[in-house]
């Protein structure tokens, strides 16, 4: 397995110089977390221009997620844009509520939550299932595919385009843009800003046209909501929210689907067990989310925040290491083992506290449909070339190449 991230300076000491873009961390971070947890559960680094802390204990991540607004979400990316570019950092990802603190976080979040409630997301099940079947139709006769590129990656952008009322033909563009903004652009500010601006321009056009001529679709509904705080700047607010809906639900969910296929394609016992007993899907899905949690977010201290033995100084970042927390032996029995029938699973793959992923029910629905549809038609499969699997990491971790045969 290899990492898609560019080469980094070797890490000599993970406690004082950690790097979540290190190839070892990207391909398998679990032994690194384990070492840190036992000796230095709050690692730090001064790489990439800013001191940043990496908690690895479940209880610490839970506690840090609740220090609001002292640990601010206004710049939630794990790498901060350099200030010498003359770019306003605070707009690196203007996507409320994820990039906001209360009170803006509260009212923007309330605007979108109803569409992502458990019963509401069920309205996307049939579309998602038809989509998954069409994708499988495209490669099933060949006996092989790339589970990441041909399947997992194709699903979330089309579900989101469908939900937001965008041209379905734009789905591939969305994937390119989101990877540009969040994956490739994490290292390269020029790429990040380029794709951020492409997304903004597209969304401003889409939202403005609905402001002028409302349609029967979700963005028009958001524009029409009676929210006092939004009055007079509806287009600007809904562009920000649409930005979140577009970028937060694409590579995250695709990573989860891809990681689950990776696991089942490399662990034949789990695959056979799940194929033989579909009552295991709910616990298996939560276990995949726990073990392969894709998302790491960041907070930035707005003031000095004492935390245990350390002080997170104003201007420093803390990574919300949800993936690492979910491997803590003190919170999960046999934490480094996948147990697809694990019944006690208090994982925080979707975060914790007021920024709990607003789209978690839709993400779960997409994962559920993607895996059930795959297993119904392709119960026998394996990762055909483990050496050919590549992983993206950093903000969002998941397989980007996944050669599968069946």
Residues 6+ apart with CB under 8 A from 296: 20, 78, 319, 320, 321, 322, 323, 394, 395, 396, 397
Q: In whole angstroms, how close is the CB of 348 to another protein at the nearest point?
A: 5
Q: For another protein, which residue of 117, 224, 276, 310 counts as binding (CB under 8 A)? A: 117
360 touching another protein, by CB under 8 A: yes
Classify the C-alpha dihedral 313-314-315-317 as positive or negative. Answer: positive
Q: In whole angstroms, how close is the CB of 286 to another protein at the nearest point?
A: 8
d(Cα 224, Cα 266) in Å, to the nearest integer? Answer: 48
Identify residues 286-325 at the interface with another protein (CB under 8 A): 286
User: Which one of 125-133, 193-201, 340-348, 383-391 is the stretch in contact with another protein (CB under 8 A)?
Assistant: 340-348
118 touching another protein, by CB under 8 A: yes
Q: In whole angstroms, how close is the CB of 346 to another protein at the nearest point?
A: 5
347 touching another protein, by CB under 8 A: yes
350 touching another protein, by CB under 8 A: yes
3-state SS record for 253-266: HHHHHHHHHHHHHH
Q: For another protein, which residue of 243, 361, 373, 395 counts as binding (CB under 8 A)? A: 361
Identify residues 120-139 at the interface with another protein (CB under 8 A): 120
Q: In whole angstroms, how close is the CB of 287 to another protein at the nearest point?
A: 12
Residues 6+ apart with CB under 8 A from 139: 145, 150, 151
Distances in Å between the Cα of 219 and the Cα atoms of 35, 167, 242, 332 are 46, 13, 8, 40
Residue 154 or residue 293: which is nearer to another protein going by CB? 293
d(Cα 245, Cα 256) in Å, to the nearest integer? Answer: 17
Q: Chain-centre distance of CA 222, in angstroms?
A: 23
User: Regarding beta strands 398-401 and 403-405, do their DSSP bridges make them parallel or antiparallel, or are they unpaired?
Assistant: unpaired
Q: For another protein, which residue of 87, 140, 354, 376 counts as binding (CB under 8 A)? A: 354
* Binding region for another protein (CB under 8 A): 110, 113-114, 116-118, 120, 282, 286, 343-348, 350, 352-354, 356, 360-361, 364
């Amino acid at each position: 397995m290899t990492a898609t991230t560019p080469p980094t300076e070797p890490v000599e000491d993970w406690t004082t110089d950690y790097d979540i873009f290190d190839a070892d961390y990207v391909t398998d971070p679990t032994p690194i977390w384990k070492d840190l947890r036992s000796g230095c559960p709050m690692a730090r680094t001064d790489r990439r221009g800013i001191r940043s802390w990496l908690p690895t204990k479940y209880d610490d991540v839970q506690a840090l997620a609740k220090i609001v607004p002292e640990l601010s979400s206004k710049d939630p990316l794990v790498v901060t844009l350099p200030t010498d570019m003359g770019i306003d950092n605070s707009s690196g990802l203007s996507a409320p509520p994820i990039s906001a603190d209360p009170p803006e976080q509260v009212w923007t979040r309330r605007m979108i939550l109803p569409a992502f409630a458990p019963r509401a997301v069920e309205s996307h099940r049939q579309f998602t299932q038809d989509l998954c079947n069409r994708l499988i139709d495209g490669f099933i006769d060949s006996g092989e595919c790339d589970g990441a590129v041909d399947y997992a990656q194709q699903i979330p952008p089309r579900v989101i385009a469908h939900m937001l009322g965008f041209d379905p033909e734009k789905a591939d563009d969305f994937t390119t843009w989101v990877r540009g903004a969040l994956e490739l652009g994490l290292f390269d500010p020029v790429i990040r800003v380029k794709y951020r601006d492409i997304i903004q321009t597209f969304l401003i056009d889409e939202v403005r046209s609905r402001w002028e001529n409302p349609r029967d679709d979700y963005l028009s509904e958001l524009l029409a909501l009676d929210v006092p705080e939004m009055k007079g700047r509806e287009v600007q607010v809904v562009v920000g929210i649409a930005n979140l809906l577009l970028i937060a639900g694409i590579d995250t969910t695709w990573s989860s689907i891809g990681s689950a296929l990776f696991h089942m394609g490399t662990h034949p016992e789990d695959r056979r067990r799940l194929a033989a007993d579909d009552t295991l899907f709910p616990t298996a899905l939560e276990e995949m989310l726990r073990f392969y949690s894709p998302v790491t977010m960041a907070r930035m201290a707005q003031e000095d925040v004492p935390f245990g033995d350390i002080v997170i100084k104003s201007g420093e970042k803390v990574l919300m290491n949800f993936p690492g927390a979910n491997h803590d032996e003190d919170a999960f029995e046999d934490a480094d083992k996948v147990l697809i029938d694990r019944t006690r699973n208090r994982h925080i793959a979707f975060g914790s506290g007021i920024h709990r992923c607003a789209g978690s029910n839709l993400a779960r629905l997409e994962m559920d449909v993607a895996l059930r549809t795959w297993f119904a038609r392709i119960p026998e499969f394996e990762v055909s070339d483990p050496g050919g699997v590549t992983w993206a990491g950093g903000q969002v971790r998941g397989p980007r190449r996944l050669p599968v045969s069946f």
